[in-house]
Amino acid sequence: MGRETHFFFGVETMNNSKLLSIKKKLEKQRSDLLQEAEQTLLDKIGKEKESFPDPTDQAVAELDSNFQLRLRGREQKLLKKIDEAIARIEDGTYGVCESCGENISVRRLEARPVTTLCIECKTQQEEEEKMMERKR
Ligand SMILES: [Zn+2]
């Protein structure tokens, strides 16, 4: 495993049909996400219509909207990643690790199409994050 596996996958080239299927997957994910975000918004508007005078309910409502704001933040982040991945497919730079410049394995791209890091750089990043958490 490790470097040898990475090398093996790196040799495998991304062909057009694979690239297209990944692009389709990304576009599907994008429209699902937008639909979900829209639904969340509609739910929120629906809830706001039944406004309660009770201060406890008010607090609950505020908690709710905080949660949804956070959710939207996460959705937006993912949407941005999806858009960037689609743009990279279109300009032909898709599948290259932004940290080391190596090709990202096809399997990894299929499993996680928005990724911008090869498995080694990702593993390294996660280890660094874990170390940061330990320090906290
Ligand atoms: Zn890398």
Distance CA 61, CA 127 (A): 38
Separation of CA 84 and ligand 1 centre (Å): 18
What pLDDT, on a 0 to 100 scale, did the predictor assign at position 1?
42
What pLDDT, on a 0 to 100 scale, did the predictor assign at position 135?
76
Separation of CA 79 and ligand 1 centre (Å): 23
Asked whether the beta carbons of 116 and 103 are under 8 A apart, the reply is no
- What pTM does this model have? 0.67
Tokens for 85?
Answer: 């991945």
What pLDDT, on a 0 to 100 scale, did the predictor assign at position 73?
78
What pLDDT, on a 0 to 100 scale, did the predictor assign at position 53?
59
Separation of CA 114 and ligand 1 centre (Å): 14
Separation of CA 117 and ligand 1 centre (Å): 5
Considering the segment(s) 12-135 as one domain, its CATH architecture is: Up-down Bundle (1.20)
Separation of CA 29 and ligand 1 centre (Å): 25
Query: What contacts 20, CB < 8 A, 6 or more positions away?
Result: none
Distance CA 58, CA 62 (A): 6
What pLDDT, on a 0 to 100 scale, did the predictor assign at position 69?
64
Distance CA 84, CA 89 (A): 9
Asked whether the beta carbons of 106 and 11 are under 8 A apart, the reply is no
What pLDDT, on a 0 to 100 scale, did the predictor assign at position 3?
41
Separation of CA 100 and ligand 1 centre (Å): 4
99 burial (CB, 10 Å; 0-12 / 13-18 / 19+) is: middle
Low-confidence ranges of the chain (pLDDT < 70): 1-13, 49-60, 62-71, 136
What pLDDT, on a 0 to 100 scale, did the predictor assign at position 127?
96
Asked whether the beta carbons of 24 and 85 are under 8 A apart, the reply is no
